[in-house]
Amino acid sequence: MAKTFIMYDQICKTHLAGSGHPENPARLDAIVSALQNEDQNSELVWQSPEPAREEDLFGNHEAGYVDLVRDSVAAGRHSLGYPDTGISNGSWDAALTAAGGLINAVDLVMEGKAANAFCPVRPPGHHARPGMGMGFCLFNNVALAARHAMKKYGLDRILVIDWDVHHGNGTQEAFYQEQEVFFFSTHQEAWFPFTGERHETGSGKGRGTNMNFPFSAGAGRDEILPAFTGHLVPTMDEYKPQLVLVSAGFDAMQGDLLGRFNLTEDDFARLTEIAMEIAGKHASGRLVSTLEGGYNLDGLARACAAHVKTLMQGG
């Protein structure tokens, strides 16, 4: 029986965003340790991803921006020149490996080799816009996964669920005018990146395939779960996604350093179940999840463990 895959490589720790930065390699150490602890019976399959190729990046990013990232890292710069986009010598390889983790994971679930997959990778991706990095993100990993699924497998109905406390503006922007990807986000309102209002529902052919649920600081299970059960689930009964991608930001956990939501690890297990139910009903269970935010190491580790423990029940 196919199992849950964890796409992980230590190379993702070589990206350094700056001294004292909350998005740092210790996040992956905390997650790996928690997952190993959860995996007493070796039910998880740990796989080191192949790095994405540059041509994969062009599916979602402008060539000039890809050049900027590659050349800035090669030149030893410490920033891309945009706010919150610190880089280091390892950033190019880490970013390609992060994107590659998701691309590999899509292949594994599409080919039936994995029941589902979680990618504890960094740098994260959902703020990265087609033409510029933003908010700790260099390349939009989840968008690249969707582009890969569209191109290689011809999928034309992909759901991206983004429960990070911050709005996934880069993912929304990438698919705002396309119906092939449905973007659903719950996030804290009036908070970085200050997008993601309810009236942003897509345009052109993408009209109606973008759904935002901003909530005020302090929101938790009582606000966020109904957005999933009352809105996402029935909408997906109409849309019928062929693949479910999850931008799993665990900064929506209570006590996070960069968010003010109050979700608990049990709530993340429940959100995972709902995502799996949607995938099970419409997409033969095909689900790929990736790490986005999550900056309180203890909370991050517990939330991640609850997420993956639930994914394992789909194997």
Asked whether the beta carbons of 275 and 246 are under 8 A apart, the reply is: yes
Q: How far apart are CA 277 and CA 267, in angstroms?
A: 15
134 - beta bridge partners? 137
CB-wise, 49 or 168, nearer to Zn ion? 168
Q: Near Zn ion by CB under 5 A, which window of 19-27, 64-72, 154-162, 251-259?
A: 251-259
Task: Tell me the residue number closest to Zn ion, measured at CB.
Answer: 293
Nearest-approach distance from CB 293 to Zn ion, in angstroms: 3
The interface region with Zn ion, picked from 93-101, 159-167, 212-220, 300-308 by CB under 5 A, is 159-167
Judged by CB under 5 A, the chain residues 275 through 294 that form the site for Zn ion are 293
Restricted to residues 161-200, the positions that interact with Zn ion (CB under 5 A) are 164, 166
For residue 50, CA distances in Å to 9, 104, 107, 111, 114 come to 9, 7, 12, 17, 16
265 forms part of the interface with Zn ion (CB under 5 A): no
* Stretch near Zn ion under the rule CB under 5 A, chosen from 8-16, 89-97, 223-231, 249-257: 249-257
Q: Where would I find the beta strands (DSSP E) of 109-207?
A: 114-119, 158-162, 181-188
Nearer to Zn ion, 23 or 178 (CB): 23
Q: Of 39, 162, 251, 256, which one interacts with Zn ion (CB under 5 A)?
A: 251
d(CA 251, CA 205): 32
> Nearer Cβ to Zn ion, position 38 or 251?
251
Is the CB of 65 or the CB of 136 nearer to Zn ion?
Answer: 136
> Please, which residues have CB within 8 angstroms of residue 179's CB and are 6 or more apart in sequence?
156, 202, 205, 206, 208, 209
Choose the catalytic residue: 127, 148, 282, 307.
127
Minimum distance of Zn ion from residue 237's CB (angstroms): 29
Total site size for Zn ion, rule CB under 5 A: 5
167 is annotated as an active-site residue: no
Least Å distance, CB 219 to Zn ion, is: 14
Residue 195 backbone class (left: φ over 0; alpha: ψ -120 to 50; beta: rest): beta
Q: Give me the helices (H) in the chain, please.
A: 26-38, 54-57, 63-74, 91-110, 141-153, 169-175, 221-226, 233-239, 265-282, 297-312
In the 8-state DSSP scheme, what is residue 165?
A: S
Q: In what order do the strands lie in the sheet with 210-215?
A: 45-47, 3-7, 114-119, 287-291, 243-248, 158-162, 181-188, 210-215
With respect to Zn ion, which residue has the nearer C-beta, 166 or 270? Answer: 166
Binding of Zn ion at residue 214 (CB under 5 A)? Answer: no
Nearest Cα neighbor of 170 from 122, 216, 119, 124 is 124
- By CB under 5 A, the residues from 3 to 32 that bind Zn ion are none
Does 249 contact Zn ion by CB under 5 A? Answer: yes
Give the nearest distance from C-beta 165 to Zn ion in angstroms.
5
Return residues touching Zn ion (CB under 5 A): 164, 166, 249, 251, 293
Q: Catalytic positions, please?
A: 127
